[in-house]
Chain A
């Protein structure tokens, strides 16, 4: 899995025997000694944090599935029972629900890091694309999971999102009803959403394997985007980065624990404490916070199909990003102008998230919310389709350091 010469030497008869038949210890040892660039900063710890999130979600999820009942008459009550009656359910249910939010917080940080440091550029296109696939799967899993507690937001979120498929010309309605297993969101829908919600994390785990494999094959990017040239430019993954990742994990878990213990509902929506009612829509439907930017893009256009196409396009554009950015320089540290455009891009994403939660007609600083969304949507696409392709051609980057060691130690090296 790791593209570096193996230094593992089995010491015992048993490990020698095994190494000839299934070199699994060798694989683990090679992973731990993988030569990583010596200048990785804390933005690089989110890969490890994300692995932890996935494992935590799978473990807490399997436990919840032992107590949850996927039936429209019982689902809502069974989740309340987990929170109140099941031993330690009060702890495990919020760990899973808050865990989903923390997972997305980490993945967004990880993605912005990749964008800033140009980690998607050759030869790491496959690393980036598998990352995009993981992100898509995470969104599907998050959406399916949010349906399961069968509150008002669960039900109406599911109705609105499956409604996207109904917008497809000609086959839309049949496709939508096929997905739902009925004329509307109902028991068959809840059953299959539960089955798929249980399945997808394991698919994610498999794609994570490909993501890490591709990354180890191409080598890790680093904050200056200059490839390691000598042994001095790298450090063994263990203990240098296991310790660095470990420290970051502890800080991350502090934030995680704050929400689990003190604000378990802060990242959810109060309406989800009302049991699903197919006869009444809540006055203001909002998705989970991590979908808000896309929700704002969806609502930025007054046309159903166009809105969906733009929203899908906002994710699709990520997949072709390696071919949109024409600059040979990876890190924004050496791209003074594009760096500013990038900061604006992050702000645009936050504006989209903010306005995704507002009613489109609500005025903000004298301007209707929908116009904020429109401006930010325009910038979102312009960044990928105009700014990155053009800046690579016209911008004069700063001079790159000779090597990672030179950039870290200066002339002392």
Chain B
């Protein structure tokens, strides 16, 4: 070391020096964290992605037994006009047997009259396993799985006529998106 440095160590206040180290380090850490925050958060959903969040669907155009598939937030929404047989099947299930227990009624939203309309089932058409789109076209028995609802071909999850998981690796029932009835036949999803 050169002769500019303080050679008499007795004059150094160690506590004061520790304080300076810690204070400097704390300011640097806080600064780094403050800078990291925007760098991390920019990866999240942008304003335009969030804004394109709602669609309206006219239910009267879907005939009995038919299913409508609409794109909502980059994912398909299934609107199924269920037959009376399918409704009866969904209601007859013992909830205690289910992996993700929900009654059929819990999977519906009330119409403006305050009643549930079990004819229309609205779900996000994305398998809760790894996000594939289940198949379930009416009239194709082999494409509806063992429970008459939907079948995910990726890893073999079977959903019943209420979109509840019955067999296979998916952990949850098909998701019900946030939606409301604008009239008896029009819904707004999102």
- In the complex, the answer to whether B74 meets A184 with C-beta atoms within 8 Å is yes
Which A residues touch B126, using CB under 8 A?
Answer: 184
What are 15 pairs between A and B in contact, CB < 8 Å? A160-B130, A178-B44, A182-B73, A184-B73, A184-B126, A184-B131, A279-B71, A279-B76, A280-B133, A284-B153, A285-B154, A304-B129, A304-B170, A360-B155, A360-B156
Interface centre among B45, B71, B135, B170 (most CB of A within 10 A): B45
- In the complex, the answer to whether A281 meets B75 with C-beta atoms within 8 Å is no
Q: Which 10 A-B pairs have the closest CB atoms?
A: A184-B74, A163-B130, A183-B73, A160-B130, A281-B132, A281-B133, A163-B131, A159-B131, A182-B49, A283-B153
- Tell me the dominant secondary structure on chain A's binding face: loop
* Contact residues, A130-169 vs B (CB, 8 A): 156, 159-160, 162-164, 166
* Contact residues, A258-305 vs B (CB, 8 A): 278-281, 283-285, 299, 301-305
Give, as a whole number of angstroms, the nearest-CB distance from A86 to chain B. 30
Q: Is A185 an interface residue (CB 8 A)?
A: yes
- In the complex, the answer to whether B129 meets A278 with C-beta atoms within 8 Å is no
Interface centre among B73, B131, B135 (most CB of A within 10 A): B131
Which A residues touch B43, using CB under 8 A?
Answer: 178-179, 181, 192
- In the complex, the answer to whether A278 meets B71 with C-beta atoms within 8 Å is yes
Kindly state the separation between the CA atoms of A166 and B129 in the bound complex, as whole angstroms. 9
Closest to B154 in A: A285
Give, as a whole number of angstroms, the nearest-CB distance from A32 to chain B. 42
Q: Is B169 an interface residue (CB 8 A)?
A: yes
Q: Is B61 an interface residue (CB 8 A)?
A: no
Which B residues touch A163, using CB under 8 A?
Answer: 129-131
Kindly state the separation between the CA atoms of A304 and B165 in the bound complex, as whole angstroms. 13
- In the complex, the answer to whether A361 meets B153 with C-beta atoms within 8 Å is no
Kindly state the separation between the CA atoms of A156 and B126 in the bound complex, as whole angstroms. 12
Chain B residues in the interface with A (C-beta under 8 A): 43-46, 49, 69, 71, 73-76, 126, 129-133, 135, 153-156, 168-171
Interface centre among B46, B130, B156 (most CB of A within 10 A): B130
Kindly state the separation between the CA atoms of A361 and B155 in the bound complex, as whole angstroms. 9
Q: Is A188 an interface residue (CB 8 A)?
A: yes
* Cβ contact of A279, chosen from B69, B130, B131, B170, cutoff 8 A: B69
Interface residue range, chain A = 35 or more
Give, as a whole number of angstroms, the nearest-CB distance from B168 to chain A. 7
Kindly state the separation between the CA atoms of A166 and B169 in the bound complex, as whole angstroms. 14
Q: Is A245 an interface residue (CB 8 A)?
A: no
Which B residues touch A279, using CB under 8 A?
Answer: 69, 71, 76, 133
Closest to A186 in B: B74
Kindly state the separation between the CA atoms of A185 and B49 in the bound complex, as whole angstroms. 12
- In the complex, the answer to whether A182 meets B76 with C-beta atoms within 8 Å is no
Kindly state the separation between the CA atoms of A379 and B80 in the bound complex, as whole angstroms. 45
- In the complex, the answer to whether A156 meets B73 with C-beta atoms within 8 Å is no
- In the complex, the answer to whether B171 meets A159 with C-beta atoms within 8 Å is no
Kindly state the separation between the CA atoms of A183 and B71 in the bound complex, as whole angstroms. 12
Q: Is A307 an interface residue (CB 8 A)?
A: yes
Interface centre among A183, A186, A192, A285 (most CB of B within 10 A): A183
* Cβ contact of A159, chosen from B71, B130, B155, cutoff 8 A: B130
* Cβ contact of B168, chosen from A156, A186, A302, cutoff 8 A: A302
- In the complex, the answer to whether B130 meets A181 with C-beta atoms within 8 Å is no
Q: Is A177 an interface residue (CB 8 A)?
A: yes
- In the complex, the answer to whether B74 meets A185 with C-beta atoms within 8 Å is yes
Closest to A185 in B: B74
Kindly state the separation between the CA atoms of A307 and B51 in the bound complex, as whole angstroms. 35
- In the complex, the answer to whether A183 meets B129 with C-beta atoms within 8 Å is no
Give, as a whole number of angstroms, the nearest-CB distance from A221 to chain B. 40
* Cβ contact of A183, chosen from B45, B154, B170, cutoff 8 A: B45
Kindly state the separation between the CA atoms of A141 and B76 in the bound complex, as whole angstroms. 29
Which A residues touch B73, using CB under 8 A?
Answer: 182-184
Closest to B69 in A: A279
Which A residues touch B75, using CB under 8 A?
Answer: 183-184, 278
Closest to B76 in A: A279
Interface centre among A159, A303, A305 (most CB of B within 10 A): A159
